[in-house]
Every structure is written in C-alpha cells, then in structure tokens.
Amino acid sequence: MHVLVTGGAGYIGSHAAKRLAQAGHVPVVLDNLVRGHLQAVRWGPLVVGDLADPTVLEQAFHSYPIEAVLHFAALAYVGESMSAPADYFRNNTTNTLNLLDAMRNHRVNVLVFSSTCAVYGNPLRQPITEDTPAAPVNPYGESKLMVERMLHWHGEAYGLKWVALRYFNAAGADIEGELGELHDPEPHLIPRVIGAAHGAIPALEVFGSDYDTPDGTAVRDYIHVTDLAEAHALALDHLWKGGAGGIFNLGTGRGHSVREVVQAVEAVTGRRVPLRESGRRPGDPPVLVAATGRVRTVLGWQPRHSTLPTIVETANKWHLANSAASIMTLNAASIVALRAASTAAADAASIAAEDAASITQR
Ligand SMILES: NC(=O)c1ccc[n+]([C@@H]2O[C@H](COP(=O)([O-])OP(=O)(O)OC[C@H]3O[C@@H](n4cnc5c(N)ncnc54)[C@H](O)[C@@H]3O)[C@@H](O)[C@H]2O)c1
C-alpha cells in the first residue's frame, strides 16, 4: 500500500521509509526539508512541502492512493522548544491538525505517530510504564502530548485508528550504511561523542557528573533506529488487521550512562574522547528508562540491534563515510535548486524521487 511518511527525509523517518519499502509498501515522503535531506529519500516519491499548507497535503492525498500515515514531521529539540515554544506548538500540534483534517477528507484512518518519552517529564519511578502520569517539563513534550490527546478524540469521534510510539533515545545508523543521523546542530549524545572522538568538536560537554547514578552521569535508554523502524512496520500491520491502538513505549528497558557511551565510542574508534565537565542542565532527569512490556506483548516487537556496541559501530561507520559538512552544503544547494524548480512549475510541489535525485547530482 501507499503510506504517507511525513518527515521521511529526516533521521528516523528515512529509516522507516526504507523498512516500508522492504515490506513491499510505497513510502510517499512529505517533507519541507527544513531539517531533512534529499539524499535520504530513496524508496518512493517525495512531496516537498510544509504541513502548515493544506494545499500541499491535498496534493499528496490527491496524487497518491494513500491508505495509512506515519507521522514523523516535527521540531524535536528540547532546548530549542524552551526558547521558541510557539514554533513547537504551531509545527508539532497545529500542523498535525491539518494532517488529521486531510486524512479525514480522504477517508484515511490509520496513523502511527512519533511521540516521545519527554511527555513523562521527571518521573519518580523507573522503568517508566505507559501508565505513569504524563507531566512534560518542556514545550516539546507538551506539544507531543497535545497531539496524543487529539488522536484519542479523533478516535472517539471519527474512528481514527492510531498508535503513538513514545520513543526513548533514537541512535545508531542503518545496518547497511545507507542512512544515518545528520542534524545541524547535532544535539544528540552519541553522534556528539563520535564527533569528539574524531576531532569534529573539540570536547564532549558532560552535563552533570553528580547524579545519583552508578557513575554520577545521566542514564538514558538508547534504541537503534532500525529497531524503531521495525516497530512502525509492526504498528501499521497491527492497526491494519484491526488491532487496538493506543500508546506504547519504545525503548529497550536497559539504560546506559554518559560515561558508558563514551567508553563504547573509545572502544569502537580506538580514540580518546576529550571531555569537559559542566553542571547539570535544568530539566534533565537523572534516569529515563522504558518499561517495554506492552510493545513486546501487543506488537510482538523485539530489539535486535539495540546493544550499545552495535549502535556505536553503525553510527561511527556512518560518520566516517559521510562528512557532515559536505553533505549539509550539498543538501543546501539541492534544496535551492529544488525550490526554484517547484516555483517554476507553479502547481507542482510534488516531484518524483528520481527528479530529486537528478537535481541533487547537478
Ligand atoms: N531523535 C530522537 O531521539 C527522538 C526521540 C523521541 C521522539 N522523536 C520524534 O521522532 C520524529 C523524528 O525525529 P528525527 O530525529 O528523525 O527528527 P528530524 O529532524 O531528523 O526529522 C524530522 C523531519 O520532519 C521535517 N519537518 C519538520 N516540520 C515539518 C513540516 N511542518 N512539514 C514538513 N516536514 C517537516 C524535517 O524537515 C525533517 O526532515 C519527531 O517527531 C521527533 O519528535 C525523536
């Protein structure tokens, strides 16, 4: 089936698009390329446009026989959300309403949504079950929680079938080396540690080394992006076959400290990671680890690549093969060319992936 993948040019969405194609589906990517990369769209058509624009959505649903949606498109940096909350509520929450309207207009009623463990805030108990009260401590988490509530009511009123996957820390890169993480700036720990090991950044800043954890640094639950992509395929299948939707944590149930991550990167790269110790960041909980019983039991999901060595090896391989700076430059040039082409075509915000690739090569 044709599946709309919003944000499919981004880190997790591109891995999910690849997984959909492997399952025989056609991923139709809709992305404004603000934080995504043309090079990451390889398994189906690309609609370049913004969820804020209902005509773009209309065109996507009109042009392709879409039967389900994976909704990744969002702004996703906690720190940024603290200084620009309006951008987060507008892009993550209001724009999702546009998507839901378009789905309803086109009688598409299956949706898998990218939610986040940030909805839990600073929970008292670990591991965190889905029944832990949601109490976000930043606009990012709040903007995602509001979407979850919208999905619930769309289910009640319009029969929307939905799954919200609350991801913990996505990490690693495509096992075959075709995709990886490329954010600018890059706020996520593992690519930053790898960058520090290879000298791309002068030193890794460690925020807090006096937490009540075994080595004093913060503990997080890292899940390999390929395992995340697999969970989307399973969730889609589950909903399609009439399974009950709802909220699922997506993590491994095992936490690793910042120091453990640093050691893993040093072991894989054979290089020392320069560290700079800083104070705790406000709002950073000491430990965030998922209780994973529900996703394993209901969706039959199992992490297969989410060990720290595999996460670091795949991420490091990607880092070495893809100079972030050169890809960013190439991407920026491609987007300029693409936008010019789209404007000239006036009504054509939609282009085939082949066209995108040829513009990229020029
Ligand atoms: N990376 C993580 O560890 C993590 C953890 C929890 C949840 N999530 C969620 O997973 C999703 C994907 O995260 P990611 O790390 O791949 O982010 P990303 O920034 O790499 O990808 C997001 C994509 O959405 C696109 N986009 C944003 N706003 C858009 C709009 N209005 N219209 C069209 N396209 C738009 C961007 O250009 C980008 O390609 C997000 O919803 C994020 O909140 C990520």
Kind and range of the H or E run holding 316: helix 308-321
Q: Cα separation of 335 and 214, whole Å?
A: 46
Read off the CATH number of the domain in which 200 is found: 3.40.50.720
Ligand 1, atom 29, residue with closest C-alpha: 73
How many Å apart are CA 207 and CA 278, to the nearest integer? 5
In a domain, 280, yes or no: yes
Best residue among 4, 12, 311, 350 to mutate for probing ligand 1, ranked by most atoms within 8 Å of CB: 12
Does residue 117 lie in a domain region?
A: yes
Q: Which helix (H) or strand (E) holds 351?
A: strand 350-351
Strand ranges (DSSP E) for 39-179? 46-48, 66-71, 110-116, 161-167, 169-171
Domain of residue 152: give its range: 2-351
Residue nearest to atom 32 of ligand 1 (CA): 50
pLDDT at 281: 86
DSSP of 283-312: T--SEE-B--HHHHHHH----SS-SHHHHH
Query: What distance in Å separates the CA atoms of residue 204 and residue 82, rounded to the nearest whole number?
Result: 22
358 assigned to some structural domain: no
pLDDT of residue 323: 62
Q: Among residues 192, 193, 259, 221, which one has the least CA distance to residue 120?
A: 221
pLDDT block averages, 10 residues each, the chain of length 362 = 98 98 98 96 97 97 98 95 96 98 98 98 95 96 98 98 98 97 92 95 96 96 98 98 98 98 98 96 89 98 98 97 56 49 40 36 24
H runs (alpha helix) in 32-92: 54-63, 78-83, 85-88
Domain for residue 87, yes or no?
Answer: yes
Res 282: pLDDT: 78
Q: Is residue 175 part of a domain?
A: yes
Closest by CA to 93, choosing from 106, 108, 74, is 74
In this prediction, residue 25 carries a pLDDT of 98
Residue at 362 is within a domain: no
Q: What is the structure's pLDDT at 283?
A: 73
Q: By alpha-carbon position, which residue is closest to atom 23 of ligand 1? A: 7
Residue 204 sits at the vertex; the CA angle it makes with 199 and 205, to the nearest 5 degrees, is: 150
DSSP string for 198-259:
TTSSS-EEEE-S-SSSTTSS-EE-EEEHHHHHHHHHHHHHHHHTT---EEEEES-S--EEHH
How many whole angstroms separate alpha carbon 12 and alpha carbon 228?
Answer: 8
Is residue 119, in this structure, part of any structural domain at all?
Answer: yes
**φ/ψ (deg, to 5) at 206:** -105, 115
Nearest by Cα to 98 from 145, 63, 156, 49: 49
Strand partners, 249: 166
Residue 140 falls in the annotated catalytic set? yes
- Asked whether residue 360 is assigned to any structural domain, the reply reads no
| Domain count of the fold of the chain | 1
User: What gap in Å lies between CA 157 and CA 134, rounded to an integer?
Assistant: 23
Using CB distances shorter than 6 Å, the residues near ligand 1 are 7, 9-13, 31-36, 50-52, 72-74, 76, 91, 95, 114, 116, 167, 169-170, 183
Cβ 107 vs Cβ 278: under 8 Å = no
Closest ligand 1 atom number to CA of residue 76: 43
Instruction: Report the distance separating Cα 194 and Cα 111, nearest Å.
Output: 34
pLDDT at residue 342 in the model: 44
